[in-house]
């Protein structure tokens, strides 16, 4: 037996895979070294270096496409390409092998490793999913009855190798999740790991990543759904609750907007300061989030024409939103001014209406021009 064949068998003891019934043999073959095919394979076997073996085997593939040793030669090439870190050729060779032995775990594992190394994530994901049942099948291979020592060793090698592949698949799935930069693809990978490895450590704590991905995509409905899921794990996230309230308001789901706003206000009444946050900073943060809860409710009631209730909530937001300044303060001022106009009965609200419309008219916001027109009408009527 040539040195190359000895080395091949030694490797295969660590990487055996149960072949499908009637599948072509791609390992442990008997070669007639005197035949034209055998002479080429023998030449490859006695070659000292991979650089010598590869062109010989590549020549065999080209010259003997119908050979019974075609798959055997492909497997040798695939492993040699991996040794050379030629990931593209390892993948291409693996694909040719899978046409012959689609359920071979070693071939699939070689392809998966090469795809990870070359960061071919789009190709990798379906391969990881497809490989798992074959690896689990081999890991559960029953021991032969009354085995001799060689059979026992071969069986244990098959099981150990398959178990290693099973662990690798989970690890590679997590690597794929962490390496995605496009939000839609990150969601695809996270969905896959939750579906196929729901109890994995890697499946925990993905909620915030979903929120970020949907937000980056501009998918507000998806973001809101992800936030609700995240709140199941961390119900004390005031930023998520505020965002959900604002989103519900944006789609005019006033009931849900109020529910989130009330939850936000209640949370800020009882939530202790996070570790490392000063009492002063925490009081300011509580005031801000409480104001936002009232702002969303006030805005919702304003849109529904419930002026008195809207004004009641909006007045509770003045200090925090005025300190914030900007567009939201202009909107608040306009809504308050409008409420005072609508609720004016005996002229006693005109001064407050005028004050708030002036604030809205001088602050850049979407209602600034309306505020100016309303203010001119109020002043003209006096």
Q: CA distances (Å), 113 to each of 117, 124, 151, in order? A: 6, 9, 28
What sign for the dihedral angle of Cα 341, 344, 350, 351?
negative
381: number of Cβ within 10 Å: 8
Percent of the chain with pLDDT over 70: 94
pLDDT of residue 13: 33
Give the residue from 347, 360, 349 showing the smallest Cα distance to 308: 349
Q: CA 334, 335, 338, 340 torsion: positive or negative? A: negative
Q: Which of 65-74, 299-308, 342-351 has the lowest mean pLDDT?
A: 342-351
pLDDT of residue 24: 83
Q: List, for residues 301-318, the tens digit of each pLDDT value.
A: 999 999 999 999 999 999
- Label residue 6 by pLDDT band (50, 70, 90): very low
Return the domain boundaries, the chain: 3-141+152-191, 237-323, 325-382
Task: Give residue for tokens 């202790």.
Answer: 272
Q: Residue 42 in contact with residue 30, Cβ under 8 Å?
A: no
| Assigned CATH for 3-141+152-191 | 1.25.40.10
Compute the mean pLDDT over every residue in the chain, rounded to the nearest whole number: 92
Read off the pLDDT of residues 100-159 as tens digits, 9 standing for 90 and up: 999 999 999 999 999 999 999 999 999 999 999 999 999 999 998 888 888 899 999 999
Whether the model pTM is above 0.75: yes
CA distance 109 to 134: 11
- Per-residue pLDDT tens over the stretch 83-106: 999 999 999 999 999 999 999 999
Nearest in space to 310 (alpha carbons), one of 328, 325, 298, 323: 298
Pairwise CA distance, residues 122 & 184, whole Å: 12
pLDDT digit string, tens, across residues 176-204: 999 999 999 999 999 999 999 999 998 99
Q: What is the pLDDT of residues 206-262, one digit of tens each?
A: 999 999 999 999 999 999 999 999 999 899 999 999 999 999 999 999 999 999 999
């Amino acid at each position: 037996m040539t040195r190359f064949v000895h080395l091949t068998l030694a490797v295969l003891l660590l990487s055996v895979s149960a072949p499908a019934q009637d599948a072509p043999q791609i390992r442990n073959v008997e070669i007639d070294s005197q035949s034209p095919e055998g002479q080429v394979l023998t030449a490859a076997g006695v070659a000292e270096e991979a650089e010598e073996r590869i062109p010989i085997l590549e020549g065999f593939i080209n010259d003997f496409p119908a050979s019974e040793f075609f798959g055997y030669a492909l497997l040798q090439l695939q492993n040699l390409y991996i040794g050379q870190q030629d990931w593209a050729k390892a993948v291409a060779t693996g694909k040719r092998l899978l046409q012959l032995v689609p359920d071979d775990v070693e071939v699939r594992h070689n392809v998966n490793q090469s795809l990870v190394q070359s960061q071919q994530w789009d190709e990798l994901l379906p391969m990881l999913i497809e490989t798992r049942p074959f690896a689990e099948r081999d890991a559960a291979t029953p021991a032969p009855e009354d085995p001799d020592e060689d059979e026992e060793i071969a069986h244990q090698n098959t099981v150990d190798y398959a178990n290693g592949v099973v662990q690798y698949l989970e690890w590679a799935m997590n690597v794929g999740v962490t390496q995605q930069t496009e939000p839609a693809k990150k969601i695809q990978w996270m969905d896959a790991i939750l579906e196929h490895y729901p109890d994995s450590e890697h499946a925990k704590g993905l909620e915030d990543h979903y929120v970020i991905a949907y937000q980056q995509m501009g998918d507000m409905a998806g973001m809101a759904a992800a936030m609700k899921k995240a709140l199941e794990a961390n119900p004390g996230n005031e930023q998520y609750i505020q965002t959900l309230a604002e989103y519900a308001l944006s789609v005019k789901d006033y009931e849900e907007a109020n529910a989130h706003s009330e939850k936000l206000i209640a949370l800020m009444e009882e939530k202790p300061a996070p570790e490392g946050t000063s009492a002063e900073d925490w009081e300011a943060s509580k005031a801000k989030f409480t104001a936002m809860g009232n702002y969303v409710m006030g805005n919702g009631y304003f849109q529904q024409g419930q002026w008195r209730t809207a004004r009641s909530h909006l007045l509770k937001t003045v200090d925090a939103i005025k300190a914030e300044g900007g567009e939201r303060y202009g909107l608040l001022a306009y809504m308050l001014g409008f409420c005072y106009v609508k609720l004016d009965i005996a002229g006693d609200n005109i001064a407050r209406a005028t004050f708030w419309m002036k604030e809205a008219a001088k602050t850049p916001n979407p209602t600034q021009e309306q505020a100016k027109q309303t203010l001119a009408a109020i002043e003209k009527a006096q």
